[in-house]
Amino acid sequence: DTGVSQNPRHKITKRGQNVTFRCDPISEHNRLYWYRQTLGQGPEFLTYFQNEAQLEKSRLLSDRFSAERPKGSFSTLEIQRTEQGDSAMYLCASSFGGHSNQPQHFGDGTRLSIL
Amino acid sequence: AQSVTQPDIHITVSEGASLELRCNYSYGATPYLFWYVQSPGQGLQLLLKYFSGDTLVQGIKGFEAEFKRSQSSFNLRKPSVHWSDAAEYFCAVRMYSGGGADGLTFGKGTHLIIQP
């Protein structure tokens, strides 16, 4: 069990640029989740996948955000035309199975800073 | 909509003393409840979870939590804290999934400070 891996760990970019983050879940996990965490707050749910299907998107996921999981393994989260308010920690989590009682395992996150 | 309240933003405890972190949830049915811990700059580590059955659940690192339906609470406890327990603690709730709404809802967290 190598855990959930996220890359990069840190990303600094100028406002208006596009950024892409990658998440590699635990290998046998079919569910993958993205969360955003701002300073002093708990994580907020953005979206989740079961295999390659994106099953739910939060209202927080504006049209500048897009997530993919093309082969049901790793996932990418892209933010287009970044804004100051996008500065946050972006966390990925994965879980096994189709029942809600399976715990989610988190990666160490990608910290995004917008200049 | 479900929600989670952690009333204490900061708690300071002396090393070796007991600890209780409070968590209240708002949800119509019995939820799935979790406690996670986060060290600075790191992701979240699962401490323990409650789904059903025995209302007192044991977790890692000597933590336990008690589900009280009548109080809509799921408080985290530890009989004797260690300096390494200093971190941010998050309570989370997950709605039963019938095919949708599967994300966790987190509280705002409690920052635990350990005094020597």
What is the distance between the alpha carbons of residues B80 and B95, in angstroms, rounded to a whole number?
A: 32
Q: How far is B68 from chain A (nearest CA, A)?
A: 18
CA distances from B19 to A24, A89, B67, B71, B85 (A): 35, 28, 16, 19, 10
Q: A with B: how many residue pairs have Cβ under 8 Å apart?
A: 69
Q: Is the model's pLDDT at B41 over the cut of 60? A: yes
List pLDDT tens digits, range B69-88.
Answer: 999 999 999 999 999 999 99
- What is the structure's pLDDT at B28? 66
Q: Inter-chain contact B104–A41, Cβ cutoff 8 Å?
A: no
pLDDT in tens, A49-96: 999 999 888 888 899 999 999 988 999 999 999 999 999 999 999 998
Average pLDDT taken over every residue of chain B: 90
Using an 8 Å CB-CB cutoff, list chain B residues near A108: 41-43
Answer yes or no: do B103 and A4 touch at CB < 8 A: no
**Residue B114, H or E segment:** strand B110-115
The token pair that represents B72 in the structure block = 């809509």
